[in-house]
Amino acid sequence: MTRLHDLYDQQGQSPWIDDLKRSYVRAGELQRLADAGVRGVTSNPTIMAKAIEAGADYDEQFGELIAAGKSVDDAYWDLVLDDVVGALAVLRPVYDSSGGADGFVSVEVAPSLAHDTAGTLAMARELHERVDRPNLLVKIPATVEGVPAIEEMIAAGRSINVTLIFSLERYAAVIEAYQHGLERFAEAGGDPSRVASVASFFVSRVDTEVDRRLEALAGAERGSAKADRALELRGKAALAQARLAYELFTSSFSTPRFQALAARGARVQRPLWASTSTKNPAYPDLLYVDGLIGSNTVDTMPPATVEAFLDHGTVARTVDQDMDGARAVLGGLAEVGVPLEEVTSLLETEGVAAFAKSFDELIESLGRKAVALGASR
């Protein structure tokens, strides 16, 4: 038994790993992680780009796909979905033993579709149909245009990982999309127990941007009480907002409205804490893991954070401690002039752009490789 097992058994939080690459699946690393207590896998376009560019693991299959007449874009999705299907097989026993509560693998729609509702819907349907495994979660970003697509997919009985949530306001819209989608699915005769969903709330990036603004403000107001207050707030915004997100989750899924769905087998849409690695070396390495432990949640961690938690993680409920303090932090940010809504809007824009950049750069790289393969034949 490991700390990851304890995290699930004692606190009801599911540890997932935020990484996927071919060597994990084929060399047994993902099975080792599953044996150690990892209960799911997430990936994103940046993760997949790094995996494909890192070595020669994908070269042989890519060459065969190009030789068979596949476009570079289609070949990319074949590479990715082969890894996804392999990971789904490794984690299927977790899915079965948990009654469909865990054992999921996530794959994200193309990042170019983040502001295209119809395109997101079409690709999400295609991914579900191509993979056709019950433990697949298709990731849809929680942009303004993504939220309607989320509701439509839930209403169609599809399981979705909602990604790139940065604000409480957008999280509330995601919860509404999930519940209304479930209501529509149930009214049409569907079985809500077949639908699973997580809402991925991004954490550490909030502190990175808020701290930058607080330090700039303190520099401009050096020596003042306002500057002192700004410095006191560093490293606190992300956990405070995430804890308030958990409070919103708890209240939203304890209403008579959702209880009527639960009576028909519906599952809660669990909050998933994403971006949990510590970006500031001055902060504890498990700040965003140890500080957000609670039942009915998922924490997806990059490999180094998983290993750190196995070594020295703390297994104790923390996600709803000091809620008055969490509210005071958000109030303090407003008082010193750091508008959180402006921060979260920027982070969403940057998140979408970063994934699109990784995807585009990889497609360009694969295009050059395809040309070289053609020249060598």
**Amino acid identity, residue 253?**
F
Q: Could you tell me the residue range of the domain that residue 108 belongs to? A: 3-372
Q: State residue 173's pLDDT score.
A: 98
The fraction of the chain above a pLDDT of 90, given in percent, is 91
Beta bridge partners of 160: 138, 197
SS3 164: strand
**Residue 106: pLDDT band with limits 50, 70, 90:** very high
pLDDT over 80 at 374, yes or no: no
pLDDT of residue 56: 84
CATH of the domain at 169: 3.20.20.70
Answer whether residue 26 is part of any domain. yes
95-104 burial, b at 16+ Cβ within 10 Å, e below that, comes to: beebebbbbb
Residue keyed to tokens 């994103």: 44
Question: Side-chain half-sphere of 246: how many Cα atoms within 13 Å?
Answer: 27
- What is the pLDDT averaged over residues 75-81? 95
CB of 142 closer than 8 Å to CB of 161: no
Backbone angles phi, psi at 108, to 5 degrees: -100, 145
Q: Give me the active site residues, please.
A: 139
For 120-129, how does the pLDDT look when each residue is reduced to its tens digit (9 = 90+)? 999 999 999 9
| Residue 241 lies inside a defined structural domain of this protein | yes
Task: Place 53 in a pLDDT band, splitting at 50, 70 and 90.
Answer: confident
Exposed / middle / buried, residue 48 (Cβ in 10 Å: 0-12, 13-18, 19+) = buried
Q: Is 47 helix (H, G, I), strand (E, B) or coil?
A: helix
Is residue 178 in some structural domain? yes
Looking at residue 375, its pLDDT comes to: 53
How many residues in the chain?
A: 377
Q: Are 241 and 330 in contact (CB under 8 A)?
A: yes
Answer yes or no: is 119 within a domain. yes
User: Is the residue at 173 inside a domain?
Assistant: yes
Indicate the SS3 state at residue 258: helix
SS (H, E, C) 166-208: CCHHHHHHHHHHHHHHHHHHHHCCCCHHHCCEEEEEECHHHHH
d(CA 199, CA 257): 19
- Three-state secondary structure call for residue 41: strand
Residue 191 has pLDDT above 90, yes or no: yes
Alpha-carbon gap, residue 199 to 204, rounded angstroms: 16
Between the alpha carbon of residue 6 and those of residues 15, 167, 285, 316, the distances in Å are 10, 30, 19, 10
Q: How far is CA 54 from CA 22, 62, 87, 328, 364, in A?
A: 11, 14, 19, 44, 15
Domain contains 283:
yes
DSSP string over 83-152 = HHHHHHHHHHHHHHHTTSSS-EEEEEPPGGGTT-HHHHHHHHHHHHHHH--TTEEEEEE-STTHHHHHHH
Q: Give the integer Cα–Cα distance in Å for 101 and 239.
A: 25
- Span 238-258, average pLDDT: 98
319-335: average pLDDT: 97
pTM for this one?
Answer: 0.95
| Count: domains in the chain | 1
Alpha-carbon distance 284 to 208, whole Å? Answer: 14
What radius of gyration, in Å, describes the C-alpha atoms of the chain? 21
Q: Take residue 192 and report the two structure tokens written for it.
A: 């809500």
Closest CA to 150 of 114, 189, 186, 97: 114
Per the domain annotation, does 244 fall within a domain?
yes
| Domain annotation covers residue 377 | no
CA 361 – CA 314 distance, rounded (Å):
39
The answer on pLDDT for 338 being more than 70 is yes
Helix, strand, coil abundance in the chain, percent, nearest 5: 60, 10, 30
Amino acid identity for residue 320 in this structure: D
